[in-house]
Amino acid sequence: LALQTLFEGPGLGAALPLPDELARLYGKLSFQSRRDGPLILGNFVSTLDGVVSLDAGKSGGGAISGENQQDLMVMGLLRAAADVVIEGAGTLRAAPKGILTAAHVFPRLEKAYAELRQRLGKAATPLNVIVSASGNLDLGLRIFQSGEVRALILTSPPGEQRLAAQGLPPSVEVRALRGAEGLGSAALVQSLGLSRGQVLLVEGGPHLMGSFIKDRQLHELFLTLAPQVAGRDEASRRPGFVSGQSFAPADPRWGDLIGVKRGQSHLFLRYDLMKT
Ligand SMILES: NC(=O)c1ccc[n+]([C@@H]2O[C@H](COP(=O)([O-])OP(=O)(O)OC[C@H]3O[C@@H](n4cnc5c(N)ncnc54)[C@H](OP(=O)(O)O)[C@@H]3O)[C@@H](O)[C@H]2O)c1
């Protein structure tokens, strides 16, 4: 399960106090400290040909990664280091039984993840945030009903009304964003009220990620490259990790490679998206 570190960029910041087991599996994990607020990280797994969902809205990351255990381990590690994990309603609809915790994605390391959160002085679980303009969410899902996590739904005023009509479970808060920016990613981040030193993890999907990258809100991307060629034909909707936005060539987004790890034929890439 241990990853091999092939490259680590300079100036990544202070190393996190990883418990021995996580340090053995991942190596060192450093986070930059930003002067202007929380550190905002993204995490995706993609095929070699840039597909992140075999049937957008239905298939999950497992079919992309080949149920790769190291990818799940890294996903868990990032969740364990996050104050808030945010995902779009489409991703929740594709994996409706999920909660956004480290232990849920990789139970084998539950104790080590919990120990890391304790060392970082963080709550037992990150705040789970779901973004939905429509408010068309099933409040009977585990993430809302079980009380295992605190959940926050960021939505529009009509979405708020639609959700209120269902009756809110006690562990769920709904917040409607009303400004001219609507649910633009800057407004989403601002509404979370995170401070310097805190970590926001964006798990997608492609529409939510697109809005973060468009607004230059995403500082870093952790991208797992799975050694699979998925292919696309005219009939299939197989998005990359951005949907609903187009950048190049008019307004391109370039990244700096700041980390490369390897687990057999999977690559674990880390890009700084704010340097250029
Ligand atoms: N390979 C990977 O690493 C990975 C990671 C994540 C997801 N996925 C896959 O991606 C697929 C889903 O793609 P998707 O693009 O539909 O995902 P998505 O971004 O999670 O969902 C889109 C929906 O989320 C809400 N939303 C997202 N951004 C918003 C914004 N800025 N403002 C308002 N609402 C926003 C809207 O919900 P409403 O319709 O309710 O308004 C929108 O229709 C699934 O198959 C999932 O498994 C893959």
pLDDT given at position 35: 84
Supply the residue whose CA is at minimum distance from atom 7 of ligand 1.
205
Task: Evaluate if residue 71 carries a pLDDT over 80.
Answer: yes
Task: Evaluate if residue 116 carries a pLDDT over 70.
Answer: yes
Mean pLDDT of all residues in 101-126? 98
The pLDDT tens digits of the residues spanning 165-176 come to 999 999 999 999
pTM: 0.98
- Residue 112 CA to residue 153 CA, distance in Å, equals 29
Q: Taking a C-beta distance cutoff of 8 angstroms, is the pair 260, 269 a contact?
A: yes
Nearest atom in ligand 1 to 183's CA: 32
Peptide bond into 147 cis (omega under 30): no
pLDDT given at position 152: 98
Task: Evaluate if residue 275 carries a pLDDT over 80.
Answer: no
Peptide bond into 249 cis (omega under 30): yes
Tell me which amino acid residue 153 is: I
Quick one: how far is CA 159 from the chain centroid? 23
Confidence of residue 180 (pLDDT cuts 50, 70, 90): low
The pLDDT tens digits of the residues spanning 16-46 come to 999 999 999 999 999 998 888 999 999 999 9
pLDDT given at position 59: 76
Q: Compute the distance from residue 243 Cα to the ligand 1 centre, in Å.
A: 9
The pLDDT tens digits of the residues spanning 128-155 come to 999 999 999 999 999 999 999 999 999 9
User: How many residues are recorded in the chain?
Assistant: 276
pLDDT given at position 252: 95
Pocket residues: Cβ below 6 A from ligand 1: 44-45, 52-53, 56-61, 64, 87-91, 94, 131-134, 136, 183, 203-208, 211, 243
The pLDDT tens digits of the residues spanning 214-263 come to 999 999 999 999 999 999 999 888 999 999 999 999 999 999 999 999 99
Please state, for a pLDDT cut of 70, what percent of the chain lies above it: 99
CB count within 10 Å of CB 187 equals 17
Q: Where are the beta strands (DSSP E) in the chain?
A: 4-8, 14-15, 30-31, 39-47, 84-88, 127-132, 151-155, 172-176, 199-202, 220-226, 256-263, 266-272
Torsion sign across C-alpha atoms 112, 114, 116, 118: negative
Q: What does the longest C-alpha to C-alpha distance in the chain come to?
A: 52
Classify 206 as helix, strand or coil.
Answer: helix
What DSSP element (H or E) covers 210?
Answer: helix 206-214
What DSSP element (H or E) covers 24?
Answer: helix 20-26
- Residue 188 CA to residue 167 CA, distance in Å, equals 23
- Residue 187 CA to residue 180 CA, distance in Å, equals 9
Please state, for a pLDDT cut of 90, what percent of the chain lies above it: 89
Pocket test of ligand 1: the residue of 51, 52, 67 to mutate, having most ligand atoms within 8 Å of its CB, is 52
